[in-house]
Structure 1
């Protein structure tokens, strides 16, 4: 049985799209958490609509609207996988999405991030 090489699909010009990631880290100063200046960078990868199964894996999944899945070769961050940062924000097609969960398929060379559309942006 042959498998689909997801990493190969992610880098394929036929399927990949460019999106912008805003990453904000911080540090503790005298017991207070201070946010650093956010950095922005572009990533290319595959973007799909989140399935019911993927939406159910994230907190408050039953109330989510506009969930998307972003595949990349670059690690994406949530607050829980980096306590000194807040979740990455993705800008794509004039919408902003907050990363809610990252599935690190490191053995296969890629990351899958479930993100929800941020209202009002």
Structure 2
């Protein structure tokens, strides 16, 4: 199995999990989904610089090299995603304190404990 297939599969799983969690009805899974999407984007940016093992990250005549630009982009994206995640966590906490619920739409569902199903 090649390294490219494994990285592509990991990016696909992170993206699918991030989209699934982002579409959930509570704020904490939404925050986790956004974080997973940012990890998938970082892995995608990093893989754009060619996946080469044991090669120098600078250019040498006739040698295969790894492009340093995607590495710089990933470092920048990590900082931006950390700040974005902190902002979304603060917004989710503020929303919970204002509305009293952690649902994305602000509604509270009634839970019937006898049959375990939620009643709207």
Name which structure has the greater RCO, CA cutoff 8 Å, separation 6+. 1
Q: Which is greater in Rg?
A: 2
Is the shorter-chain TM-score for this pair beyond 0.5, marking a shared fold?
no
* TM, length-normalised to structure 2: 0.20
* TM, length-normalised to structure 1: 0.20
